[in-house]
Amino acid sequence: MNNGLRRLLYDYLIQSGLEANAAAYLNALILFIGIILVALLMDYILWKLFRFLSVRFARRSKTNFDDFLVFNKVPRYVAHIIPLILLYRYLPLAFLDFENTEGIILKSIEILAVILVLVLIRSLLLSIKDYLKTLPHMKDKPLDSYIQVFMIFAWIGGILTLFAVLTDTTIWKFFTALGAASAVILLIFKDTILGLVASIQVSINDMVRIGDWVTFEKFGADGNVTEISLATVKVQNFDKTITTIPTYSLISDSFKNWRGMQASGGRRIKRALLIKQKSIKFLTADNIETLKGIQIIAKYVETRNSTIDTYNKEHDIDKQLAINGRNLTNIGVFRKYAETYLKNHSAINQTMTLMTRQLPPTPQGIPLEIYAFSSDKRWENYEYIMADIFDHLLAALPYFELEVFELPTSFNDGLHKVENGMEGPHFKDGMP
């Protein structure tokens, strides 16, 4: 459209008998509607063309990046660019006789252009994020944080541009004003800045990845990380609830990441049996003969007993009292039995630390701790393996004449008194 064509329509309306003002308004309205319709038609045609070409290209290409571009509507937003340029070039011509309206139209189109650029940048960034998440070495990285950072800068630039358009000034004047108001900006965006710093440190130091099992007692989180964004980290707990943790807390507070265990050869079993102290004793000859019947320690008992007897004879030890000289104890032989049992257990990783150890005595008894690593690290199987081991060891204790400590109960106290001839519960007429 040129100025002559615009005046031609105006002249035709004048010749039709309309007044100059009415002709000017009607001329502007007709031209406005006509240009809008042409732009909409062009936008529709370009959208159909771009969609056809992009879908066809995406199907033939080997990479799936273009698939994400189509999914995030990048071709659709690109199709808006040419119609918007058309509007910016020709729509003001419809209002040449209305200077104020012409300025408003230009500003409106410039605002639409800024919004379109922001939406297009967002779609491109989302496409990049979705594509990177399909790469094996990138799917556990905090990509959401980086995308949000870029979008923050994009929105800041877009908002400053909008202010510059609305106030007819340059964008650099706003940057100068922002420098003076930096303290206020830092206060407003404090959490965002802290989140940005935390996201960078988390990524560089490889502290947390998506999919890691973390335990964060301060926030009651115990589960797998599902999302790492600029401000928050989402953890899906094992009870399927979601805990949201501030990203900055990952570098300011202490938490436990179980990735090292999952990447290792086993999962640690560290649990103790509380042995009743009164059940611990020296083994007699009869006890030793009985324990030789336990196959996995028969050789150990025989060899150890022979070594002790030789030592006692060489040193002329008086064995009328068992405390004299060297002796086998039931807890010592049981400790050896537990260790041998673990070494023969198919679910225990034999290449990692394996031991049974005695911890310092407590008011609840002598803790005999099992320290080993299960080969299977899956939670359900790990619990089954650990329960299977302690089921066996608890059942094996009576063979060594050992007892597990239990807190006394009133019922057990009454039976104990009756069994020892002490006064028990009084009954009257068959009722307690």
Residues 250 and 373 in one domain: no
Full domain range(s) for residue 281: 268-400
Distance from C-alpha of 227 to C-alpha of 239, rounded to nearest angstrom: 17
Out of 60-64, 307-311, 369-373, pick the least confident.
Answer: 60-64
> In the chain, how long is the greatest CA-to-CA distance?
142
In this prediction, residue 431 carries a pLDDT of: 39
pLDDT at 424 over 70: no
pLDDT at 180 over 60: no
Backbone φ and ψ for 221, nearest 5 degrees, come out as -100, 130
Looking at the domain assignment, is residue 180 inside a domain?
Answer: no
Looking at the domain assignment, is residue 336 inside a domain?
Answer: yes
In this prediction, residue 179 carries a pLDDT of: 60
Closest listed residue to residue 285, CA positions, set 266, 265, 308? 308
Residues 70 and 202 in one domain: no
Token digits of residue 391: 């089921």
Q: Which residue has the higher pLDDT, 307 or 190?
A: 307
pLDDT at 410 over 60: no
Split at pLDDT 50, 70, 90, the class of 430 is very low
Q: Which residue has the higher pLDDT, 184 or 258?
A: 258
In this prediction, residue 429 carries a pLDDT of: 42
Q: Tell me: the pLDDT tens digits for 223-269?
A: 999 888 777 889 999 888 999 988 888 888 888 888 888 778 889 99
What is the 3-state secondary structure of the chain?
Answer: CCHHHHHHHHHHHHHCCCCHHHHHHHHHHHHHHHHHHHHHHHHHHHHHHHHHHHHHHHHHCCCCHHHHHHHCCHHHHHCCHHHHHHHHHHHHHHHCCCHHHHHHHHHHHHHHHHHHHHHHHHHHHHHHHHHHCCCCCCCCCCHHHHHHHHHHHHHHHHHHHHHHHHHCCCHHHHHHHHHHCHHHHHHHCHHHHHHHHHHHHHHHCCCCCCCCEEEEHHHCEEEEEEEECCCEEEEEECCCCEEEEECCHHHHCCCEECHHHHHCCCEEEEEEEEECHHHCCECCHHHHHHHCCCHHHHHHHHHHHHHHHHHHHHCCCCCCCCCCCCCCEHHHHHHHHHHHHHHCCCCECCCCCCEEEECCCECCEEEEEEEEEECCCCHHHHHHHHHHHHHHHHHHHHHHCCCECCCCCHHHHHHHHHHCCCCCCCCECCEC
Mention every residue, 6+ apart, whose C-beta is less than 8 A from residue 86.
Answer: 35, 38, 39, 42
**Domain stops at, among 235, 263, 291:** 263
Residues 395 and 274 in one domain: yes
Query: Which residue's entry shows tokens 């083994």?
Result: 283
- Residues constituting the chain: 432
Query: Which residue's entry shows tokens 């310092």?
Result: 360
pLDDT at 342 over 90: yes
The mean pLDDT of the chain is 81
Residues 161 and 26 in one domain: yes
Out of 4-13, 43-52, 192-201, 363-372, pick the least confident.
Answer: 4-13
Residues 8 and 144 in one domain: yes
Residues 7 and 147 in one domain: yes
pLDDT at 380 over 80: yes
pLDDT at 193 over 80: no
Mention every residue, 6+ apart, whose C-beta is less than 8 A from residue 159.
Answer: none
Split at pLDDT 50, 70, 90, the class of 297 is very high
In this prediction, residue 428 carries a pLDDT of: 40
Residues 259 and 291 in one domain: no
Residues 248 and 356 in one domain: no
In this prediction, residue 143 carries a pLDDT of: 73
Distance from C-alpha of 185 to C-alpha of 191, rounded to nearest angstrom: 11
In this prediction, residue 82 carries a pLDDT of: 87
Residues 117 and 218 in one domain: no
pLDDT at 411 over 80: no
Residues 153 and 69 in one domain: yes
Q: Does the model's pTM come out above 0.85?
A: no
Give the mean pLDDT of 53-78: 79
Query: Which residue's entry shows tokens 């673990």?
Result: 342
Residues 253 and 309 in one domain: no
Winning range, highest mean pLDDT, from 141-145, 173-177, 213-217, 421-425? 213-217
At 193, which amino acid appears? Answer: I
Split at pLDDT 50, 70, 90, the class of 407 is confident
In this prediction, residue 167 carries a pLDDT of: 75
Token digits of residue 320: 């009328």
